[in-house]
A and B are shown apart, each in its own frame.
Chain A
């Protein structure tokens, strides 16, 4: 942790996503018919912009860039929507066993085909 960071106004002062596993390359998609929000929950303008943007699959980083938000802020807001069940998040490809050979092979084959 690096001392006090500029407060993130739009996230209500939070600078950490509620779910640690959200990464900049996590893929996000708005849920077509989201569950009804609890009465006390108020989505802010940025939340609604994210829902509008994520009609189809984009990474958290792309959400940040398209909405002009820093990455950390986008992560928190996407995390909020995830907690509410309003977006679906595909986890980054699991790296449990460091550098799985099959994954690297898949990347390599893909790149060679695109070259």
Chain B
């Protein structure tokens, strides 16, 4: 049934809809974000129960910080692919995982996706940490809880956790996790660790 090579298959011809059980009453979402090529789609694919789906979003990127009354200044239209997957958690609840670039220029898409999200997993490539600063800053600004996930595919040099933390300049309570995004078990452990962190934080907030 499942089509081979699904990661590369064009998303306009999916295998056909895989419906949720009719008992499901609602859905929550978690974002998987980070720069291009860091492994977001791979992670979503390792976790999803359905062949990951894709939409193509037209982005009209306005030049930042410029008053836009003329509607002319420095606009470019680009298309960004959005990959997402799904996990049916129990008979009532589903979880969607949206892989989305977090850069400033994808603002409209970001707002749509981040509204109501439980949190975000920020994937980083230790060889190009700079690429992740933008999205980390934005999550902190918006108060969206997040974890940093280092994608540890072979060939990735290993850095001491303290060194990564200080380079990324994230607060001590932000989890720094490691995962080979191609591996289902590791990907699940990553997601579980993150949700466990969210759960414990919410208990603390309750003043427990």
Contact = CB atoms under 8 A, between A and B. Distances in A.
B116 interface: yes
A70 interface: yes
Interface in A62-92: 62, 64-66, 68-72, 74, 90-92
Contacts of A115: 185, 188-189, 192
Interface in B97-133: 98, 107-109, 112-113, 115-116, 118
A4 B118 contact: no
Contact of B20 (A26, A56, A70, A111): A56
Contacts of B90: 106, 109-110, 113
Interface residues of B, number: 60
A48 B54 CA distance: 21
Contacts of A68: 11-12, 56
Contact of A24 (B95, B112, B199): B112
B2 interface: no
Interface in B146-191: 185, 188-189, 191
Contacts of B89: 106-107, 109-111, 114
A61 B199 contact: no
Given A23-B116, A58-B19, A107-B28, A65 B71 contact: no
B93 A110 contact: yes
Contacts of B14: 65-66
B26 A106 contact: no
Contacts of B53: 61-62, 65-66
B75 interface: yes
A92 to B, nearest CB: 6
Contacts of B206: 101
B3 interface: no
B202 interface: yes
A5 B20 CA distance: 33
Contacts of A53: 17
A92 B20 contact: no
Contacts of A101: 199, 202-203, 206
B132 to A, nearest CB: 23
Interface of A: 2-6, 23-27, 29, 53, 55-59, 61-62, 64-66, 68-72, 74, 90-93, 95, 99-101, 103-115
Given A101-B206, A115-B189, 6 more contacts: A58-B20, A61-B84, A90-B25, A92-B26, A99-B205, A110-B89
**What 3 pairs between A and B have smallest CB-CB spacing?**
A110-B89, A65-B53, A56-B19
